[in-house]
Amino acid sequence: MYTMGLDFGSTASKGVVLKDGKEIVCTAIITSGTGTSGPERVKEKLLTESNLLESDMEAVVVTGYGRMTYQGAKKQISELSCHAKGVHFLVPDVGTVIDIGGQDIKALLLDKNGNLSNFVMNDKCAAGTGRFLDVMAGVLETEVSMLGEISMMSKSPVNISSTCTVFAESEVISHLSAGVNKEDIIAGIHISVAGRVAALAKRVGIKDKVVMVGGVAKNIGVVKAMEDALGKNIEVPKLAQLTGALGAALFAFEALNK
Amino acid sequence: MYTMGLDFGSTASKGVVLKDGKEIVCTAIITSGTGTSGPERVKEKLLTESNLLESDMEAVVVTGYGRMTYQGAKKQISELSCHAKGVHFLVPDVGTVIDIGGQDIKALLLDKNGNLSNFVMNDKCAAGTGRFLDVMAGVLETEVSMLGEISMMSKSPVNISSTCTVFAESEVISHLSAGVNKEDIIAGIHISVAGRVAALAKRVGIKDKVVMVGGVAKNIGVVKAMEDALGKNIEVPKLAQLTGALGAALFAFEALNK
Ligand code: SF4
């Protein structure tokens, strides 16, 4: 029995095909989000790669920012519930989930069954989000995907005193023109992100095990800085970008079996 | 009897020479702040233009961000107290002072003698500050000094839904690429600034007469948008940028007469 979970975000469309609610058959990520061809393309890609037909899917659940405009799903389920579900599937003993996306930060507290018991979110301020890193990568003329690796070479990270993206950008420009090494600047940027995100996560509560997901979880420098800020190990599941879609596919399976 | 007030900010150095605590003899503004040659140059300019010697000054008081690093003043007095004093000299029936600077927003509540009775400040977030306007002027490829005038031609200001400078910048870019008139975008930007600043000012209290000072008070578009947001007339004194230095010169006079 196959189910499909789709997660249509603002910048990417993601999908998972699940067999019998426990085996991940296929995953797909298209880097264009809702309002583009991304949603259709991710579905096509899933079906092509899994060699299945749309009619093979017993249920489809959709989540993410673009879920309401999408026709053809059995259910729409909120991102937060889907993330919680998906992370719990990957890391059954998860307690706190930290999700740094392109434009927001979320921290979720899960009970031992993987149900959401509390959350905090910030989507009003770019500080600490992927957008913050994009801005800094622009100033540093460095690919955002390279930031993590470069920062690992730092021996003495700079101090960035402003939290605000705009003011921190000016500090980065000053450091650059003072001839500071890029790795030390980038490491300082990651510490700034971690400080911001850790403060938010502490508001929801830090409960072992701590898991990081979202696009920024791919940045090893931010993950390490978060571990320092929280004084805890953090697990980043391999499918960190796909937890929303995975949770949706799990909800689709549950819906069939109710 | 002459006194001098100096205000060393982060982006400009300002000065006032006062005669007998009531007559403004001379004013000067240099657009480079503390840590540059600005502080020395503004002093020289004041003395040259007033045809006075440093020894003619009976007392010098310094205020502003750079006040602590400056030697050679009788006293350092906080910006807020100096602003209150200076504004009250210019507009004796002032109640609330709104000060939008390059990097911060302040709202001051004054008692009827011009003493500071309360204040709120935001210097952590660029939204609503002069920096916000600088960022937007950059995207619009327009001089920041032209924004006010251009916005007055707007007939239907755009809505900018994000308060955050970074997210609002993206909205402005979208409006531009959708071909929206610059005047409507700029008017929308001013409404956004006014919304942010009005919310802060309301926290301290809006008491007639409302006076606006600080660099952004030169932007007629922001002043009009603030009037709409508060439903009140706002007075902008001619020497709006000089109230800190003026207040310092007044304090210098008082110090001599105590
Ligand atoms: S602090 Fe900076 S990044 Fe955050 S909302 Fe304000 S302008 Fe945006």
Q: Strands of B210-213's sheet, edge to edge?
A: B116-122, B105-110, B96-100, B210-213, B234-235
pLDDT band for position B162 (cuts 50, 70, 90): very high
- Tell me the sheet residues that pair with A211: A97, A235
**In this structure, what token pair is assigned to residue B186?**
């700029």
Q: What is the pLDDT of residues A20-52, one digit of tens each?
A: 999 999 999 999 888 889 999 999 999 999 999
**In this structure, what token pair is assigned to residue A136?**
């800094």
CATH code of residue B249: 3.30.420.40
Whether B162 and B43 map to the same domain: the answer is no
Residue A96 has what pLDDT?
Answer: 97
Put simply, whether A162 touches B (Cβ < 8 Å) is yes
Question: Distance between the two ends of chain B, CA-based, in angstroms?
Answer: 15
Q: What is the pLDDT of residues B93-104, one digit of tens each?
A: 999 999 998 899
Whether residue A66 has pLDDT greater than 80 = yes
Residue A60 has what pLDDT?
Answer: 95
* Residue % of chain B over a pLDDT of 90: 84
Whether residue A258 has pLDDT greater than 80 = no
- Looking at residue A66, the DSSP 8-state letter turns out to be T
Whether B129 and B139 map to the same domain: the answer is yes
Whether B110 and B229 map to the same domain: the answer is yes
Q: What is the mean pLDDT of residues A108-119?
A: 92
Q: Does the C-beta of A166 come closer than 6 Å to ligand 1?
A: yes
Smallest Cα distance from A136 to chain B, Å: 12
Classify residue B238 as exposed, middle or buried by CB count within 10 Å of its CB (0-12, 13-18, 19+).
Answer: exposed
Q: What is the pLDDT of residues A131-153, one digit of tens each?
A: 999 999 999 999 999 999 999 99
Whether B134 and B217 map to the same domain: the answer is yes
Q: What is the pLDDT of residues B22-59, one digit of tens each?
A: 999 999 999 988 888 999 999 999 999 999 999 999 99
Whether A169 and A195 map to the same domain: the answer is yes
Q: What is the mean pLDDT of residues A76-96?
A: 94
A183's enclosing H/E stretch is: helix A182-204
Q: What is the pLDDT of residues B198-232, one digit of tens each?
A: 999 999 999 999 999 988 999 999 999 999 999 99
What separation in Å is there between the alpha carbon of B125 and the centre of ligand 1? 5
pLDDT band for position A70 (cuts 50, 70, 90): confident
Whether A170 and A230 map to the same domain: the answer is yes
Residue A241 has what pLDDT?
Answer: 83
Residue A101 has what pLDDT?
Answer: 87
Question: Distance between the two ends of chain A, CA-based, in angstroms?
Answer: 14
Whether A186 and A107 map to the same domain: the answer is yes
What range defines the domain where residue B255 resides?
1-91+239-258
Smallest Cα distance from A109 to chain B, Å: 27
- Nearest-angstrom CA–CA distance, A131 and A147: 13
Residue A242 has what pLDDT?
Answer: 92
What separation in Å is there between the alpha carbon of A7 and the centre of ligand 1? 27
Whether A19 and A81 map to the same domain: the answer is yes
pLDDT band for position A225 (cuts 50, 70, 90): very high
Whether A46 and A157 map to the same domain: the answer is no
Residues ≥6 apart with Cβ < 8 Å to B108: B80, B83, B84, B87, B96, B97, B99, B116, B118, B119, B204
Q: Does the C-beta of A164 come closer than 6 Å to ligand 1?
A: yes
- Nearest-angstrom CA–CA distance, B108 and B117: 8
Residue B142 has what pLDDT?
Answer: 97
Whether residue A72 has pLDDT greater than 80 = no
Whether A37 and A143 map to the same domain: the answer is no
Whether residue A186 has pLDDT greater than 80 = yes
Q: What does the mean pLDDT of chain B come to?
A: 94
Q: Does the C-beta of B164 come closer than 6 Å to ligand 1?
A: yes
Q: What is the pLDDT of residues A190-216, one digit of tens each?
A: 999 999 999 999 999 999 999 999 889
Residue A196 has what pLDDT?
Answer: 96
Residue A177 has what pLDDT?
Answer: 96
What separation in Å is there between the alpha carbon of A46 and the centre of ligand 1? 38
The residue behind tokens 């600077």 is B101
- Nearest-angstrom CA–CA distance, B215 and B218: 6
> What residues 94-123 of chain B have any CB closer than 8 A to a CB of chain A?
103
Question: Which range among A11-15, A19-23, B134-138, B142-146 shows the weakest confidence by mean pLDDT?
Answer: A11-15
Number of independent structural domains in chain B: 2
Question: Which range among A120-129, A136-145, B62-71, B180-189 shows the weakest confidence by mean pLDDT?
Answer: B62-71
> In degrees rounded to 5, what are phi and psi of residue B205?
115, 135
Task: Assess contact for B67 and B5: CB atoms under 8 A.
Answer: no
Whether B167 and B70 map to the same domain: the answer is no
A171's enclosing H/E stretch is: helix A165-177
**For B160-176, b where at least 16 C-beta lie within 10 A, e where not — what string?**
bebbbbbbbbebbeebe
Whether residue A58 has pLDDT greater than 90 = yes
- Nearest-angstrom CA–CA distance, B123 and B130: 11
Whether B125 and B246 map to the same domain: the answer is no
Nearest CA in chain A to B163: A124
